[in-house]
Structure 1
Amino acid sequence: MFKLKEHNTNPKTEIMAGITTFFTMVYIVVVNPVILADAGVPFEQVFTATIIAAVIGTLWMGLFANYPIAIAPGMGLNAYFAYSVVGGHQDITYETAFAAVFVAGLIFVALSLTPFREKLIEAIPENLKHGITAGIGLFIAFIGLRLTGIITDHPSNLVALGDLHSPSAVLALVGLAITLVMMTLGINGALFFGMVITGFIAFFTGNLSFEQGFMSLPSLPNGLIVGNPLTAFGDVIQHSLYAVVFSFILVTIFDTTGTMIGVANQAGLMKGKSLPRAREALLSDSIATAVGAMFGTSPTTAYIESSSGVAAGGRTGLTAVTVAILFILSAFFGPLVGAVSGLSAITAPALIIVGSLMMGSISKISWDELDEAFPAFLIILSMPLTSSIATGIALGFISYPLLKLVKGRWREVHPLLYVFAVLFFFQLAFLPH
């Protein structure tokens, strides 16, 4: 089924690769509930929904696409959900926001079944793609710093350095240092093990307790949050969440496709410039996004941490299936994860470091061409300052074709980009945001 001999691998190597990938990305079952809790979503709901989405997406990737790539709710998109969609609109509840995610997932499935997804990717300039990735990285790192009080609000400067003597700040800085040392030494699963060590320090210093124990049966206290597609579409129309749906689709398309190509290339699975079984692979995150929204989690994406499993020898879907099985087992440790997620100093280092890794895209921007660089810069700058990924994307997509028109290079801009620019301008100028 997995064609192990054809890929010069064996079950032992694939299983070990799956374990490696799991430990490098399992931090998401802790961090995701922390972020979505700020939108009012119950911890148990997000914890279980995160695992359901990860299992469905990763199993699909392993069984149907036969790739060693794991799927789970994405960093950045969860922050956008909590702080921009729900936090930025008083009349939008998390149930309504999940309806938007569900709609985006359904559209995403349709796009994955057609060539449009590839055409949309080709239409967006590379510099804007790099700007979006870097902007999201800066945004989530900023969230990590604020959650621990390392950075606080300031009446005149907006933000300022917080009290570095507070227990939360000290613990976060210690955890950040420990995790960075392990990552520098090339230790697989450094983000996860960094949280484990920081958790032990918090426990022995009296900042962490496990009053509810360590294990329990997984639960969904709110049941299905989105069950009726017609109701979901109605919520999107009623609250004019078109830009939100578009932003979810846009960011996920770039993030997932780029990660899949990068990991597949690392594993030597690319055939020239094409990705075999691309449709099956692209369906994994779109289906997981739709299902995840039904239970209560933000959009899913392919995880770049899958590259650690590839580095450990993973070449087939057996690696992904191993990851999915381990996620299922993790569902029974809800109380342990709940206690850890309640202390932001344990999870914040992961946010800051993942943000720094995403910022690496800045080096790929053509800074010597102003009409290419400035729109990307605008995206990077505006995402953390406006606390909105969608606003950052909108400003970049509006400014890019305008500068190309001024420079007389309008023919270089794909027609779809002009359509996006008009839609984003209309949204910023006339719709609530």
Structure 2
Amino acid sequence: MLEKWFKLKENKTNSRTELLAGFTTFLTMAYIVVVNPVILSDAGVPFDQVFMATIIATVIGTLWMAFFANYPIAVAPGMGLNAYFAYSVVGTNDAVGYEVAFGAVFVSGIIFVILSLTPFREKLIEAIPSNLKHGITAGIGLFIAFIGLRMSEIIVAHPDNLVGLGNLQSPVVALTLTGLAITIILMAMNINSAIFIGMIVTGLIAFGTGHLSFENGFTAAPPSPEWFIFGSPVQAFVDVFQYGLYAVVFSFLLVTIFDTTGTMIGVAEQAGLMKGKKLPRVRQALLADSVAKTVGSIFGTSPTSAYIESSSGVAVGGRTGMTTVTVAGLFILTIFFSPAVSSVSGLPAITSPALIIVGSLMLGSVAEIKWAEFDEAFPAFLVILTMPLTSSIATGIAFGFIAHPLMKLVKGNGRTVHPLVYVFAVLFLFQLIFLPH
């Protein structure tokens, strides 16, 4: 029955491949159940509260994506947005506690749901120029590869050059390079589950060498979640007006729109799901994120986003919602196995090779960019360059959206640009100059 629901044959996949893809995606993004509570606890939010809220938001958004959009794209609280929540919204304003800030997330989520029910975001995806779409895919590829290199400390901070080569004699670096070598060999042998097998082998090596341990055991009783910690939906809107959080709501809204849109385009192109300029069932896919964002704020987590780590599952062969059902199921189990998941996700050598390899696969989209046409190529180049350097998908998209219409106007081809691109060029320019990002 599930095979028919998810149309496995039409998408040229099978149950085994989808399950492996879901497990791979889960392993590459499981860190969020540890990292998100750590970051939001700096804003005063109880760790257990965020832990449960993170899983609830992830499961709801991911299952919506699975059953209504049938895409292998997982949804979870976004990195970067949680830091903005903790250190900019709450950390810089003594009058705004985390309860009020969650209310602002809720308000932006409601607006997000309304926009997702209209043709607006569908039109936006169609309006993005092809070269920018390819640039977004490649930029995300570089970004996640850089994350893998940075998490494993193959690349480290440098006082003069910003980044430099890490200590290759470090056990974590050596283990990461070993896992990367194993996975590359399996990829070269055209083994479909190469990334997944590489992670398992790396985990076994880590356990055998003592770098992976389960000191806190494997299971623990799940904490009881609280909800509507900002009071009520009405109170959330009242607080936004009372504390003047319009810029905060706008920032949450703008960044999540483009983080999710950019990520979905990148992963969909990688999976071959785009139909020309259109993404089928896009409205349901967009609703998955907006609903998860709204529900997540009710239970106590920062805004959600479509997760770029989904590309690791796509690289294994995931093409349908069965992949994301698997991801959601594993996150539900995480409620009971939090100590074990914390141990595995806390060792970057297991997941970093997958991120690096997937990044290289996504970079292939640069071949589709019209490099001979400077006004088409340079905006895409800005997207590719700024995503990894600013550690922000939305910022990279912003630079591309600003540069593309500007260059077309200079060349006298301003009429070829979709009106929505002009609108967001202005909005992005305003956000980069005047709002936190």
What is the TM-score when the length of structure 2 is the normalising length?
A: 0.79
Equivalent position SS for 1:152: strand
Verify: 1:380 aligned to 2:381, yes or no: no
Cα pair distance change 1:17/1:176, threshold 3 Å: closer
- How big is each residue's C-alpha offset from its partner over 1:318-373, in whole Å with a ceiling of 9 and x where there is no partner? 77656644543444322111112222322322332333333233222211111111
Match of 2:223 among 204, 219, 223: 219
Checking the alignment, whether the CA contact within 8 Å between 1:54 and 1:71 is kept in structure 2 is: no
- Partner of residue 157 from structure 1, selected from 154, 161, 164: 161
1:390 aligns with 2:391: no
For the residues of structure 2 that align with 1:304 and 1:383, how far apart are their CA atoms? 16
* Residue number in structure 1 paired with 2:336: 332
Q: Partners of 1:99 and 1:357 in 2: how far apart? A: 39
Change (3 A) 1:62 1:145: closer
Asked if 2 retains the 8 angstrom alpha-carbon contact of 1:216 and 1:333, the reply is yes
Q: Which residue of 1 aligns with 2:75?
A: 73
Q: Could you tell me how far apart the structure 2 residues matched to 1:320 and 1:133 are?
A: 20
Q: Contact 2:401 / 2:425 at 8 angstroms: preserved in 1?
A: yes
- Does residue 249 of structure 1 match 2:267? no
Change in Cα spacing, 1:223 to 1:25, as seen in structure 2 (3 Å) is same
Tell whether the 8 Å contact from 1:135 to 1:380 is kept in structure 2 after alignment.
yes
- Choose 327-336 or 124-133, whichever is displaced more: 327-336
Q: Share of identical aligned residues, percent?
A: 52
Checking the alignment, whether the CA contact within 8 Å between 1:112 and 1:279 is kept in structure 2 is yes
Contact 1:24 1:308 survives alignment (8 Å): no
Within a 5 Å distance, the mapping from 1:15-30 to structure 2 comes to 15-16=15-16, 18-30=18-30
Question: Given that residues 155 and 166 in structure 2 are in contact (C-alpha distance below 8 angstroms), is that contact kept between their aligned partners in structure 1?
Answer: yes
Unaligned runs of 5+ in 2: none
Opposite residue 75 of structure 2, the aligned amino acid is P
Task: Give 2:119's aligned residue.
Answer: 115
Coordinate RMSD, CA, aligned: 4.0
Matched, 1:301 2:306: yes
Partner of 1:91: 92
Equivalences for 1:218-367 in 2 at 5 Å?
A: 218-219=222-223, 228-229=232-233, 231=236, 234=240, 237=245, 240=248, 242-256=250-264, 259=267, 265=273, 279-295=283-299, 296=301, 299-301=304-306, 303-304=310-311, 321=325, 324-367=328-371
> How many angstroms apart in 1 are the aligned matches of 2:411 and 2:249?
34
Which stretch shows the higher mean deviation, 399-408 or 348-357? 348-357
Instruction: Give, in whole Å, the separation in 2 of the partners of 1:137 and 1:262.
Output: 10
Offset of residue 174 of structure 1: 1.3
1:178 corresponds to: 182
- Change in Cα spacing, 1:274 to 1:168, as seen in structure 2 (3 Å) is closer
Report deviation, 1:378.
Answer: 1.2
Against the structure 1 CA distance between its residues 160 and 91, is the aligned structure 2 distance closer, same or farther, given a 3 Å change threshold?
A: same
Q: Does 1:424 align with 2:428?
A: yes
Cα distance between partner residues in 1 of 2:286 and 2:331: 21
Q: Deviations over 1:386-416 (max 9, x none)?
A: 3333332222222111111110000011112
Report the more deviating stretch, 49-58 or 328-337.
Answer: 49-58
Range 345-354 or range 370-379, more displaced? 345-354
What does the per-residue CA deviation read over 1:23-56, in whole Å, with 9 as the maximum and x for residues that have no partner? Answer: 2322144233465367345876666445434432
Whole-Å separation in 2 of the counterparts to 1:101 and 1:137:
28
Range 281-290 or range 108-117, more displaced: 281-290
Q: Conserved in 1, the CA contact under 8 Å of 2:127 and 2:421?
A: yes
If the length of structure 1 is used for normalisation, what is the TM-score?
0.79
Q: Deviations over 1:144-176 (max 9, x none)?
A: 222222112222211111111111211111122
1:137–1:355 Cα contact (<8 Å) kept? yes
Matches within 5 A, 1:26-105: 26-33=26-33, 35-36=35-36, 39-40=39-40, 48-64=52-68, 67=70, 69-73=71-75, 78-81=78-81, 91=92, 95=98, 102-105=106-109
> 1:110/1:394 Cα in 2 relative to 1: closer, same or farther (>3 Å)?
same
Q: 1:155 to 1:362 in 2, by over 3 A?
A: same
Query: Is the Cα–Cα contact under 8 Å of residues 34 and 344 in structure 1 kept in the other structure?
Result: no
* CA displacement at 1:421 relative to structure 2: 1.6
Cα separation, 1, equivalents of 2:105 and 2:16? 34
Farther off after superposition, 15-24 or 272-281: 272-281
Structure 1 residue runs without a partner (length 5+): none
Tell whether the 8 Å contact from 1:151 to 1:159 is kept in structure 2 after alignment.
yes
How far apart are the structure 1 equivalents of 2:104 and 2:192? 35
Q: Distance in 1 between matches of 2:348 and 2:125?
A: 36
- What corresponds to 1:198 in structure 2? 202
Measure how far apart 1:291 and its partner are: 2.5
Q: Show CA shifts across 1:184-213 (max 9, x none).
A: 444455444433322222222222221111
